[in-house]
Amino acid sequence: MAKKKQRSGGDNNKPHGHYCYVCGEHKANERFSGKGHANHMCKACSALPVAERSEIIAIRKIENMAFRYLSEAEINWLRKRMKDSRSDVRKAATEVHQIKFPRYERNMEKKGLTAFSLELFLHHAIYDEYGDEVAVHARIRAERSGLFRLIDYNLPEGEWERETQTEPKEAKRILKTAVQQLEAPFWDEDYSDKKYEYDPYLDVLHEYRPDYDDCNFFEDDENYEDKPDVMPPENREPVCSLQIELNNGEDKKIVFYNSMPDKAEELFWALMEYFVPDENEFDEYEE
C-alpha cells in the first residue's frame, strides 16, 4: 500500500514542542512538566525564584509593547513600570515609552514652563506671507507686562526704536505661544548649529562669508596665510538669538551663527504684528 502524502500547511507547519511564556522559546515537550504545559512554563523557568521569574515576564511584556497598538490600560501599566523598583524593568519601560511616545517628556516639561519675557534678534533674509524675501536686521523684546520694544537696524539711526503697549493678557498669550507651540526654550536642542565641527564657509570666497571684513582679509600682509579661516564665533554677530526668562529661574540664551530655525521666523512675524498692523507697512523691509 502506497504511503499517504502529507498535505502541506495545516498542523504540519506548526513548530514542534511547546512555547514558554517566560523565556519566550519553543522547547521540546519533554522540557515541560504536565503542569508546565498548562502554564506555558518550561521546567528551567519553573525552577527560577518567583521574583526573578516575575521580572523576566515583565521585561518581555514591555518589549512586546514597542511596536504595536496599546490600550489606555496598557499605557498606564507601562508608565507605572517606569518607576518600578527593579532597575532592569525601569530601563526597559523607559526605552519602550520613548519609542512609543517620543514627545511625552517634552510635553510634560512644557506644561510647567511660563515665559516672563523674551528678546528675539534676527539678522537674516526671511520670507513673508507672500513668499517674498525680506532682509531683516532687528531686535524685538516682549514683556509679560504688555510692553513690546522693537529696534529696527534697517531704518535710519534716529528711527531705530519703537515701543507699543498691549494688554497684559495679550502679552501672556504671545509668550505662551512661544513656549508651548513654537517650543522656543528647546531651540538649542532641536536646531543647534553647534554640532558643526567645521567651518561651513571654508569653501566660500572670503568676500561672501558672513564674517567678512574687507580691512582684515585683503590688506597687504605677508602673514596673511597664517590668519584663521573664520572669525571666532564669539566675535561674530549671530544670524539669530533668543533670550528668554522662564519661571523655573532660568534665563536662557540661545544663539545661532550658521542657520536659523523656521520657528524663529514664525515668532518674528507674530511679534511684528504688534508694531505693523497694516500689512502694507512691511514694504519698508523689502530689499
pLDDT in tens, 237-260: 888 999 999 998 888 999 888 888
* Reported confidence tier of residue 223, pLDDT bands at 50, 70, 90: very low
Q: Mean of the pLDDT values across residues 265-269?
A: 94
Helices 50-63 and 87-100, packing angle to 10 deg = 10
Which of 88-97, 104-113, 140-149 has the least mean pLDDT? 104-113
Is it the case that residue 173 has pLDDT exceeding 60? yes
Which residues in 135-168 are b (16+ Cβ under 10 Å) and which e? ebebbbbbbbebebebebeebeeeeeeeeeeeee
* Reported confidence tier of residue 218, pLDDT bands at 50, 70, 90: very low
Q: Considering the chain, what is the average pLDDT of its residues?
A: 78
Residue 221 cell numbers, joined: 600682509
Cα(25)–Cα(46) distance, integer angstroms: 14
* Reported confidence tier of residue 219, pLDDT bands at 50, 70, 90: very low
Cα(212)–Cα(231) distance, integer angstroms: 8
Cα(164)–Cα(221) distance, integer angstroms: 50
Q: Mean of the pLDDT values across residues 150-179?
A: 92
Query: Which candidate, 92, 78, 140, places its Cα nearest to that of 266?
Result: 140
Cα(202)–Cα(148) distance, integer angstroms: 39
Please report, rounded to a whole number, the percentage of residues in the chain having pLDDT higher than 90: 37
Cα(93)–Cα(97) distance, integer angstroms: 6
φ, ψ for residue 174, nearest 5 deg: -70, -35
pLDDT of residue 109: 85
* Reported confidence tier of residue 157, pLDDT bands at 50, 70, 90: confident
Beta pairing partners, 121: 139, 241
pLDDT of residue 71: 92
Enter the pTM of the model. Answer: 0.61
User: pLDDT (tens digit, 9 = 90+) per residue, 226-238?
Assistant: 444 444 455 568 8
How do beta strands 161-165 and 115-127 pair?
unpaired
User: pLDDT (tens digit, 9 = 90+) per residue, 11-23?
Assistant: 555 556 677 777 7
